[in-house]
Amino acid sequence: MNVLLIGSGGREHALAWALSASPLLTRLYAAPGNPGMAKQAELVTLDVTRHGDIVAFCKEKSIGFVVVGPEAPLVAGLVDDLAAAGIKAFGPSKFAAQLEGSKGFTKDICRDYGIPTAAYERHESLEGARAYLKKVGAPIVIKADGLAAGKGVTVAMTMAEADAALADIFAGRFGGASCVIEEFLEGEEASFFVLSDGRNVLPLATAQDHKRVGDGDTGPNTGGMGAYSPAPCMTEALCNEALEKIVKPTVKALADKGHPYKGVLYAGLILTAAGPKLIEYNARFGDPETQVLMPRLRDDLLTLLLATADGTLDKLSVRWRKEAALTVCLCTKGYPGEITKGNPIKGLEQDFGADVEVFHAGTTKKDGVLVSSGGRVLNVTALGATVKEAQARAYAAVDRIDFPMGFHRRDIGWRAIG
């Protein structure tokens, strides 16, 4: 089978790496992909916002399956347009992707199906939002309603911070004028991944990422500076509780609405004293969490993704390596703010050993030389008997990479190591 993978980040490189090992695969294409993925896939220059071009490419190359990595094409309805053209794809429909695209949509489902989440109110006017804020006080969480690349959320410890966040949202900084004001939840954060074929749910694994830019989890939020899997705090009992009380009712809700959820469902949880509560859903694999899930996966990824699209997940199980995996993101100085592009990266041709994999994100080739092209540039991933061992291996590899304009956190995994 020929497969087209959409996306160009570290997540997609990890997916390409796993897909390329599939006995079902004939040829793998990636659009637009990145230079690291060229080892596993043929890179195609396609504008992924032009769904007609993707359909035409799929017909030309006899693509049997399209795997969509990032959220933007899902929310834009790429999977719907592929389906209309008779092309099978992995990922939820535009309607179902609202679980990620609209916080309000998700909150309404939580209310209607009794799913544990933070108390909230949705507001469409600054006056109404301010009045509610006065009533509930700080600490409080203010979220823009819509996709804001992780930047639309303010955890406000004071009323002044909360007020400023509201002013930003209603000035249209995140493209809309609607917000969710949410109860501040206290507890450890963990990510729980499942596959859903619309009816059946297959739990995958757990992970934790580090969202803040600086050591000790300080500074502004980023897309993720590193991650590890499994998340030690997600015991089997907590996974079951999250599955029964959060994930399964959500999958039922979408089915009840006539839009079954097919794809990976990534639940962002906070483990409160009263049990796991949902803080957000993502309608795609996590980045950088995928970079730690894929090296631990013992079964064939393509088989799992096809069964998700075909509605046959009840016939499958999934096995994971006992080892832990940890990934460190190498970023361009300035990230998550202003960055420069075109900075040289050297040392990637060396052999880092069997338990280390370097997944590319924001890289490109300029005159045959590998240079940076984004904020998050490389994901150095290692397996180990424990998180601590994986961490030591990952940093040993990081230290052998020459990226003078880069920086990274030195403490990825600290929570799991103690």
Choose the stretch contacting ligand GLY; rule: CB under 6 A; options: 29-37, 165-173, 286-294, 344-352: 286-294
State yes or no: residue 286 binds ligand GLY (CB under 6 A).
yes
State yes or no: residue 209 binds ligand GLY (CB under 6 A).
yes
Kindly tell me which of 126 and 148 has the beta carbon lying closer to ligand GLY: 148
State yes or no: residue 375 binds ligand GLY (CB under 6 A).
no
> Which residue ranges make up the site for ligand AMP (CB under 6 A)?
118, 141, 143, 150, 153, 155, 182-185, 189, 211, 268, 279-280
Q: Report what 153 binds from ligand GLY, ligand AMP, none; CB cut-off 5-8 Å by kind.
A: ligand AMP
One-letter amino acid at 133 equals L
Phi-psi region of 352 (alpha: psi -120 to 50; beta: other; left: phi over 0): alpha
Kindly tell me which of 129 and 225 has the beta carbon lying closer to ligand GLY: 225
Q: CA neighbours within 13 Å on the CB side: how many for 368? A: 0
- Rounded-to-integer distance, Cα 362 and Cα 163, Å: 35
State yes or no: residue 12 binds ligand GLY (CB under 6 A).
no
**Binder to ligand GLY among 224, 230, 276, 375 (CB under 6 A)?**
224
Q: Which residues of 126-165 are buried (b: 16+ CB within 10 A; e: fewer)?
A: beebbebbeebebbbbbbbbbbbeeebbbbbeeeebbbeb
Q: Report what 209 binds from ligand AMP, ligand GLY, none; CB cut-off 5-8 Å by kind.
A: ligand GLY
Q: Report what 185 binds from ligand AMP, ligand GLY, none; CB cut-off 5-8 Å by kind.
A: ligand AMP
Q: Report what 141 binds from ligand GLY, ligand AMP, none; CB cut-off 5-8 Å by kind.
A: ligand AMP
Kindly tell me which of 87 and 264 has the beta carbon lying closer to ligand GLY: 264
Q: Which two tokens stand for residue 318?
A: 């999934």
Question: 């096809």: which residue's tokens?
Answer: 306
Q: Minimum Å distance from CB 259 to ligand GLY?
A: 22
* Total binding residues toward ligand GLY, as defined by CB under 6 A: 6
The CA-atom distances, in angstroms, between 16 and each of 31, 32, 73, 295, 399 are 11, 12, 18, 12, 25
**Binder to ligand GLY among 282, 373, 381, 391 (CB under 6 A)?**
282
* Whole-angstrom Cα Rg for the chain: 21
Kindly tell me which of 188 and 389 has the beta carbon lying closer to ligand AMP: 188
Q: Minimum Å distance from CB 319 to ligand AMP?
A: 29
State yes or no: residue 289 binds ligand GLY (CB under 6 A).
yes
Strand partners, 5: 30, 67
Report H helices in 32-121: 51-60, 71-75, 78-84, 98-101, 103-113
**113 closest CA partner among 9, 230, 256, 13:** 256
Under 8 Å between Cβ of 291 and 379: yes
Q: Minimum Å distance from CB 287 to ligand GLY?
A: 4
In the chain, count of helices (H) and strands (E)?
Answer: 14, 22
Which parts of this chain interact with ligand GLY (CB under 6 A)? Answer: 209, 224, 282, 286-287, 289
